[in-house]
Amino acid sequence: MKAKVLMVQGTASHVGKSVLVTALCRIFRNDGLKVAPFKAQNMSLNSYVTPDGGEIGRAQAVQAEACGIAPSVDMNPILLKPEANSRSQVVVLGRPRTTTAASDYYNLKPQLWPVVTSALDRLRSEYDVVVIEGAGSPAEINLASAEIVNMSIARYCQSPVLLVGDIDRGGVFASLLGTLWLLEPNDLSLVKALVINKFRGDRALLEPGLRLLELKTGVPVAGVLPYFQDIYIAQEDSLSLEEMKSQGKSPSVDIAVIRLPHISNFDDFDPLGREEGVRVRYVNSVESLNKPDLIIIPGSKTTMSDLDWLERNGLAHRITGLYEQGAFVIGICGGYQMLGKSIEDPDRVESPVSYRQGMGLLPVSTVFLPTKDTHQIKGDVVAHSGLLSEARGISFEGYEIHMGRTECNEGSVFRILERSGQPCEKSDGCLDTSGRVLGTYIHGLFHNQELRRAILRHIAGSKDRLLSFAGEDQRRDCGYDKLAELVRRNLDMDLVYAITGLQGKRAGGV
């Protein structure tokens, strides 16, 4: 018997679809159902690696974790990773297939549609319910005939749709009404309920509008979800960086993360900002950089292009100057490559430029390769100086996603002991002779509490500042449960169960 399905679509990007899907996955799981997430096509530079080495959108990995299951490529069969010049790498079932211009991508629909539907069918054969996420808006009428992620999916599996609007942006009633007005009649009939998200204020003041909305659309409002800032769920859209506020007036450690034009996997740094006494800022200019204690250059899908950007706006020169004045610098993945002496791209894997000088802060050279390394990894710290002087022997977990090979002549920093579940012994990373510049390909390092705090302690100590840590990392399960209960209190779950066809299947629901 095929699983029941429920789809969450939105009036626009960044209205909260991913978070609502995460919450629903957790609610169904807590109610005793076997549940899995699904998003046919995701466009994101925030990606994750499945246990078997496939690459999917970070949001679907988060949603799988909320379901209590391992992520798989079937949960996000098509991942688009934007590159420079309006092109995207097309990752199909976890592996790069091609790079294409936006105007040519839609010609691939005949090849990609069977991949998408087969992945969804496989999930439906294994679970009780699949919660499906749309992308952007279903009312992009110029793309309706070619899209493979919104109403085309809802029609394929005859899924009921929850349509979400973001009231924090303003104009939520017009957004919901306009979206419904633009849908074809057959698609409109699949929209079973409306949800208003990110509400602040007195719900009573909203009630007249809700009743009029229901009257005009004939579609019930299933709930009004409050705006929250105290539940930490990884975000996949870099638009979320605009909402992040710098924490703390007088931090013990001030961290500036360079907001590259093609920044990727920025959730690497979420745990840093949650430490008491640590401030994390995302900056994109010399003026906003100021004088941080630690500068982080994050991952990038287009290393050479983003390095050009760093140099054009003066950030590369300023970062070098701050290092000479005593600042610490960490580069992750693409940022690691930028910190080296040179980057070569003989096969034009990433750009039309075959050779590029790096920033020269690390004694490494990088060569881009046509194959991508994607692995979940486990390892330990072998360096014992500088940034890692308090971290030797600490074990950690993380993941790799890169198409470059970087050679370091200064000795090993991290020792990888397991890749994609297989034992190995491989070195990673580079630490300069001063101990103040660190580069690595490993994403997720700062999610390891012991390693993260060892690095922060060293930075604070070098500035003669005190840094104390409050408590242990909150288990991510606690965050998912907190989110689920927030949504359960503000969403008519009886209605959701009814439109999904799951009445009577709640084993442990409230």
Strands (E), 391-502: 395-408, 414-419, 422-428, 430-431, 437-440
Q: Catalytic residue positions? A: 333, 443
How high is the pLDDT of residue 5?
98
Tokens for 297, please give them: 């250059």
pLDDT score of 304 more than 70: yes
Residue 491 DSSP code: B
pLDDT score of 354 more than 90: no
pLDDT score of 409 more than 70: yes
pLDDT score of 369 more than 80: yes
Tokens for 307, please give them: 């390095």
If you count DSSP H runs as helices and E runs as strands, how many of each does the chain have, helices first? 16, 26
Give the mean pLDDT of 194-207.
92
Q: Which three-class secondary structure string do you get for 70-117?
A: CCCHHHCCEEEEEECCCEEEEEECCEEEEEEEHHHHHHHHHHHHHHHH
Give the mean pLDDT of 377-387.
95
pLDDT score of 372 more than 80: yes
Rounded CA separation 219/212 (Å): 11
Rounded CA separation 346/344 (Å): 6
Helical (H) or strand (E) element with 356: strand 355-357
User: pLDDT, tens digit, for every residue of 432-477?
Assistant: 999 999 999 999 999 999 999 999 999 999 999 988 887 777 666 7
Rounded CA separation 23/284 (Å): 33
User: pLDDT, tens digit, for every residue of 139-181?
Assistant: 998 888 889 999 999 999 999 999 999 999 889 999 999 999 9
Tokens for 144, please give them: 């309706």
> CA separation (Å) from 480 to 5, 51, 64, 178?
21, 21, 11, 32
Looking at every residue in the chain, the average pLDDT score rounds to 91
Please answer whether residues 170 and 16 qualify as being in contact, where contact means their C-beta atoms are separated by less than 8 angstroms: no
Rounded CA separation 310/293 (Å): 19
**Spatial CA neighbour of 343 closest among 323, 316, 364:** 364
Give the mean pLDDT of 392-415.
90
Give the mean pLDDT of 38-45.
94
3-class DSSP assignment, residue 428: strand
Structural domains for the chain: 4-38+109-232+477-500 (3.40.50.300), 238-462 (3.40.50.880)
Please answer whether residues 363 and 408 qualify as being in contact, where contact means their C-beta atoms are separated by less than 8 angstroms: yes
Rounded CA separation 281/223 (Å): 34
Tell me, rounded to whole angstroms, the distance of Cα 180 from its chain centroid.
Answer: 29
Rounded CA separation 57/76 (Å): 7
pLDDT score of 14 more than 80: yes
Beta bridge partners of 165: 196
Spatial CB neighbours of 182, under 8 Å, sequence gap ≥ 6: 139, 141
Spatial CB neighbours of 303, under 8 Å, sequence gap ≥ 6: 334, 337, 338, 343, 350, 404
pLDDT score of 183 more than 50: yes
Rounded CA separation 367/345 (Å): 6
Largest CA distance in the chain: 70
pLDDT score of 236 more than 80: no
Rounded CA separation 29/245 (Å): 32
How high is the pLDDT of residue 118?
98
How high is the pLDDT of residue 510?
44
Rounded CA separation 54/58 (Å): 12
pTM, to two decimals: 0.89
How high is the pLDDT of residue 435?
94
Split at pLDDT 50, 70, 90, the class of 231 is: confident
Spatial CB neighbours of 142, under 8 Å, sequence gap ≥ 6: none
Tokens for 162, please give them: 């929850």
**Spatial CA neighbour of 329 closest among 256, 280, 395:** 256
3-class DSSP assignment, residue 347: coil
pLDDT score of 285 more than 80: yes
Q: Which three-class secondary structure string do you get for 165-191?
A: EEHHHCCHHHHHHHHHHHCCHHHHCCE
How high is the pLDDT of residue 475?
66
* φ and ψ at residue 441, rounded to 5 degrees: -90, -5
Rounded CA separation 294/271 (Å): 15
Please answer whether residues 187 and 31 qualify as being in contact, where contact means their C-beta atoms are separated by less than 8 angstroms: no
Strands 263-264 and 299-300: antiparallel
Residue type at 256 in one-letter notation: A
